[in-house]
Structure 1
């Protein structure tokens, strides 16, 4: 039986360089900076065949939604919590910005071959996003923890 791809969570360490803070390095073949407008949600899910996404919020807040082991997972990512989320090939995922401010995030892409033409065309969501879970993640319900799954942390190499 082959390995099953799993989303990974890497808590990035903050390093002080004189008066600056830095995180990383985060290795990649290509780095893209995205802006998600306020109150915005992906139209569909992306499921890359030959690409690993490494997402890191640099300003603002986003909620990452992904399907793994037939479960829907919601992860809050903020500039205050330096978290790198690694999404391997074959994991459907989307991002949303439920706040009233723009969100900027980096995708440090690892290529595993030539991109497939379907890699950047969203697939229809087989479910609607659970706004209650998003609200809980955003702290509207004080009894709810920040991340609603048990992430497997590892050191970024």
Structure 2
């Protein structure tokens, strides 16, 4: 299992076992599992939760997770073609960008540390606009990486 960690956010590849033509992926332990849909052409405000950890897995489509720390956004591309779980701990400002014309569906396996609080779900205005070109470039780089990995293609 490969793992990357920055800003308190962890990105790890899902473990799987093949059985014939079927691939079985390891489920994420959680207290609550939510199916989340991010509509097409969505540029969402930021959220920060104090009482739980999100564990996100895209099952259909793609989107960019934007995080804010020290007055700088980081853009994390996520796609159904790249089976990773992104873990967002409490206290990290984050938002969703779906620049596609298709909805994105993801599973959020929530780990509760305390009872839920209403303020965990109140959006926060962005202090400055997202860099949508950087978000789009992050998705494009993910597509190129997947092509190279899956097909041995040479990046252009």
Question: CA 1:24 to 1:65, structure 2 compared with 1: closer, same or farther past 3 Å?
Answer: same
Gaps of 5+ in 1: 140-144, 148-157
TM score, norm. by length of structure 2: 0.81
State the shift of 1:5 in Å: 6.6
Aligned counterparts of 2:18 and 2:142: Cα–Cα separation in 1: 26
1:1-157 equivalences under 5 Å are 6-42=8-44, 44-139=45-140, 145-146=141-142
State the shift of 1:138 in Å: 3.0
- Asked if the contact 1:5–1:88 (Cα under 8 Å) also holds between the matched residues in 2, the reply is no
State the shift of 1:37 in Å: 1.6
Q: Which moved more, 1:127-136 or 1:62-71?
A: 62-71
TM score, norm. by length of structure 1: 0.81
- The structure with more helix, counted as a fraction of residues: 2
Aligned counterparts of 2:38 and 2:118: Cα–Cα separation in 1: 23
Q: Higher relative contact order by CA 8 Å / sep ≥ 6: 1 or 2?
A: 1
Size of the aligned set, in residue pairs, is: 138
Gaps of 5+ in 2: 1-5, 144-156
**What is the Cα-based RMSD across aligned positions, in Å?**
1.9
